Chain A
Amino acid sequence: MARRVSALQRAQTRRAYLFLLPNIAGFFVFILGPAVASLLLAFTNWDLLTPIQFVGLANFKEMAGDRDFRQALWNTVYYTAASVPLSIAFSLMLALVLNKVVRGISFLRAAYFIPVISSTVAVAIVWMWIYEPEGGILNRLLSLIGIEGPQWLTDPSWAMPAVILMSVWKNLGYNMVIFLAGLQGIPSHLYEAARIDGANQWSQFWYITVPLLSNTTFFVVIMSVISSFQVFDQAYVMTKGGPAGATMTVVYYLYQNGFQFFRMGYAAAIAWFLFVIVFAISVIEWRAGGRYVHY
């Protein structure tokens, strides 16, 4: 009997591996393998033409003293620190209002969501026109209220805010849909009970919505920070990282080193640095978030 069971088990294991085979082969060859290879490459110099050289920690040392890299890192932090809170504030506000109305939800949700599904390249091109200093719509609107708009994409101090504004516009709908789902998951009888107990709108928001939405908010913050650290498309299309490196991001710098200068080792070192940062931020947020997530 026991032997029979184990024979059955063996057969099932064999079947399981057959089912997994295509998936796992791809997983090792295209995801896990490259991730490990990337770490090994970070200790080498390689331009793909001459033989690969082991250089120890040289790439990381170079990174520490590389002013362009530091600027790219700073820009990415700037981008994240500005775009994540802005996007979350607007999307939460919209979700709260959208959750109150009955009619037109799917139309409104679609209107806010279309920028999310649109290709960044295509919408970045139209935003370039919006930012045109002379004929662009933004400066025309500003001139209506008597403000002379800046040169946006060609002004080093305004180029990054321009990229941020466009990104907030693009990602708003995504976070809004998550928040809306979170809000709809809060049972309505909690609000009814609170109202019966005499709680006003503000205390309902503060004592029911905020704590019960903390899990969703926490998730949105982590995902937004992770994706903000990987910003690339907007900067590539709208400003090519300029002017004067003002919109050079970490991924852009990685791309430049790897695929324009063919410095594979240095690009891999940047990639791993990016991974470590993203990972560390997630862990810190996880720890800190645990304290504020209310259930």
Chain B
Amino acid sequence: MDTPNRAERIVAHRPRRPRRGKVPFNGVALTRVLYYVVLFGGATVMMVPFLWMISVSLKEPGQVFVYPPQWIPDPIVWANYGTVWTTVPFAMFLLNTTKIAILVTLGQFLTCSLGAYAFARLEFPGRDHLFLAYLGTMMIPYHVTLVPVFILMRYLGWVDSHLSLIVPACFSAFGTFLLRQFFLTIPRELEDAARIDGCSEFGIYSRIVLPLAKPALATLGVFTLLWSWNDFIGPLVFINSTEKKTLTLGLASFQGMYTTDWTLLMAASVMALLPLIIIFIFAQRYFVEGITLSGIKG
């Protein structure tokens, strides 16, 4: 980041007054308390829908709309969580979603890292033009390609098959871009040493660059997982049979069928959200880094 330099220079050129100890701030403690009140108050408001989701998921159907609202259910009906597994094919939805998300993530690891390696490390004619074309397509909205991809899937016979959700999603201009940027920061000396020792290009990619790129792969991984897990329009367009539905599509159709049974719907929602929230708690760093990276580099 060299951008703030000009401002730094402007400030640095000014003659500095001698420092007279710490500048006294009136009410600094009060302001800090106010900040915490705003932040925790805001966080509580943000959490209300989730708290309510959990609360309803543990109620008896008759108690959902009692007045005044009951935040702590009485009695607590843990059985709702069991009923969800039997009244809808929840296990099937969960399995489908997990399978698709993992395969898409692995697929992107493979295609994006190979491509990124070529863009970052190898010389070939047309490289920079091709890379620009990749960057350009990042601007094309997903929905623009939806109709032709659907037609293509119909020809391949992949409509109502998970292949239609897995194979096209394995390719990502964003992922290639992200990994290329990271590969460029890896020092070349290691690779040169390996090359002198007779290591093949693929060996350098798989044994030196990939292990060093674990943080970037983790960032790409959490984003791909998140996108695939929450994708809704994809399954909505490509999947028809109940046993092939994903969690998002399953929840949406469940909601259409059982609008009145909020308790089960909320129990299903909680279980659908839980895996990602757990992953987020452990991988928060990579989420934040990924957003920051895409935010700053554009």
Contacts and interface: CB of A to CB of B under 8 A. Distances in A.
A193 B4 CA distance: 14
B265 interface: yes
A199 B133 CA distance: 47
B239 to A, nearest CB: 12
Given A30-B171, A121-B252, A127-B49, A185 B296 contact: yes
Contacts of B185: none
Interface in A74-122: 94, 97-98, 100-101, 104, 106, 108-115, 117-122
B114 A22 contact: yes
Q: How many of chain B's residues touch chain A, expressed as a range?
A: 35 or more
Contacts of A230: 141-143
A34 B149 contact: yes
Contacts, number: 306
Given A16-B124, A22-B110, A117-B287, A98 B46 contact: no
A172 B48 CA distance: 15
A216 interface: yes
A9 interface: yes
A202 interface: no
Interface residues of A, number: 105
A32 interface: yes
A6 interface: no
B14 A197 contact: yes
A235 to B, nearest CB: 11
B224 interface: no
A108 B47 CA distance: 11
A93 B242 CA distance: 44
B280 interface: yes
Interface string A225-263: 010011011001100000000000001001100110000
Interface of A: 9, 12-13, 15-17, 19-20, 22-24, 26-27, 29-35, 37-38, 41, 48, 94, 97-98, 100-101, 104, 106, 108-115, 117-123, 125-130, 132, 134-135, 137, 140, 169, 172-174, 177-178, 181-182, 185-187, 189-190, 193-197, 208, 211-212, 215-216, 219-220, 226, 229-230, 232-233, 236-237, 251, 254-255, 258-259, 264, 267-268, 271-272, 274-275, 278-279, 282, 295
